Amino acid sequence: MGNIHKIIGNPEGFEHLDVFHKLAKQFLPYAQEKLQFDKPVDVQLVSDLENAKDPLGKTAYYDPNNMKITLFVDNRHVKDIMRSLAHELVHHKQNCRGDFAGEINTGPGYAQEDGKMRKLEGEAYLEGSGYLFRDWEDNLKKENKVMAEVKNPGKYKTGMKAGYDTDGDGVPDGADKDAKDGAIQEEEQTKEETVDEGKDKPCPKCKKVKCEAHCPGAGKRDDQEDIDESHCPGKRDDEKEETNENWFKGNKDQLLFERLVQKWTK
C-alpha cells in the first residue's frame, strides 16, 4: 500500500514547520499501516490568531466529505499537534470503513448527545491520541537510542538538551556539537588525572610525600616541608641490614663515628 497522504499549508509564524514535516513524514506511513485506511487524506496546517486567543479554541477537526484534516498550529508544541493528527486519522479510518455514511451530527455537544458519535469519538481518543501515537513515539525513541549507541558507543547520551531529535542520532538537534566538546573535555581531564595520579602518595619507606631519599626524581611541591634527612638518610632497608653485618665484621669504629656525626649535626 503506497503513501496516500499529503501535507499542505505553510502558516506564517509557525517556527517548527520543518520539524513537524520531518516527524509527520515518519508518522503518517506508520499510522496508515496500523489503521489500515485505504483512501487519500490531506493534512492542512492553519494559523488562526483569533482562535489561538480562545483558551478553549479549536485544535483540529476532520472533514469527512473532503477527507481532510485541519490542524491549528499557533502557540502549540509540535508533540501536541502530532497527537491531534493521530486523533483525526482515526476519524479518517472510521470514514473509510463507512461509519460516517448518511447524515452525521458534528454540532456543539455531539459527543454527549449522539450515542453513535460518542462511541466514534471515544475510539479516536483511545486508539489515536492514546495507543497509536504513544506506540510510535516510544518505538522512535528506542530506534534513535540504538542508532546513537551504534554510531558513538559510550560517548553521547540521549536527552542531553531539550530539543527535537529529527536526524535519528539520539542527540537532540543543536546538541551534537556540545556533546562532542564535552567528550573532548572529558578525555583531556582523564589524561590530566592520569598524569597527576601518584603525585601526593607517601613514600612507602618513610611515609613522607615524595621523599627524595626513597623516591629519587619525584620532586616536591613548593608548599611541601623539607625532607627529614635524619629520618631518611638515603639508605634502603637492605642497605641497613648490610651495615649491621659490617658492624660485626670489624668496622665498628667507622660505623660508630658515622652515627655520632649524624647525632651531633642534627
Per-residue pLDDT tens for 126-146?
A: 999 889 999 999 998 888 888
Extract the C-alpha cell encoding 194. Answer: 592520569
The confidence score (pLDDT) of residue 161 equals 45
The confidence score (pLDDT) of residue 183 equals 57
Backbone angles phi and psi of 5, in degrees to 5: -140, 155
Neighbours of 264 (CB within 10 A): 7
Domain spanning 5-151 has what CATH number?
3.40.390
With CA atoms as reference, report the closest residue to 9 among 70, 65, 67. 70
Q: How far apart are CA 87 and CA 79, in angstroms?
A: 13
**Sequence-separated (6 or more) residues with CB below 8 Å from residue 157:** 179
pLDDT tens digits in sequence order for the chain, 266 residues long: 456 678 888 888 888 999 999 999 999 999 999 999 999 999 999 999 999 999 999 999 999 999 999 999 999 999 999 999 999 999 999 999 998 887 676 666 666 666 778 888 999 999 998 899 999 999 988 888 887 777 776 654 544 445 556 655 555 565 555 555 555 666 666 665 555 555 556 666 666 665 555 555 544 444 444 444 444 555 455 545 555 555 455 566 677 777 777 766 65
Q: How far apart are CA 85 and CA 44, in angstroms?
A: 10
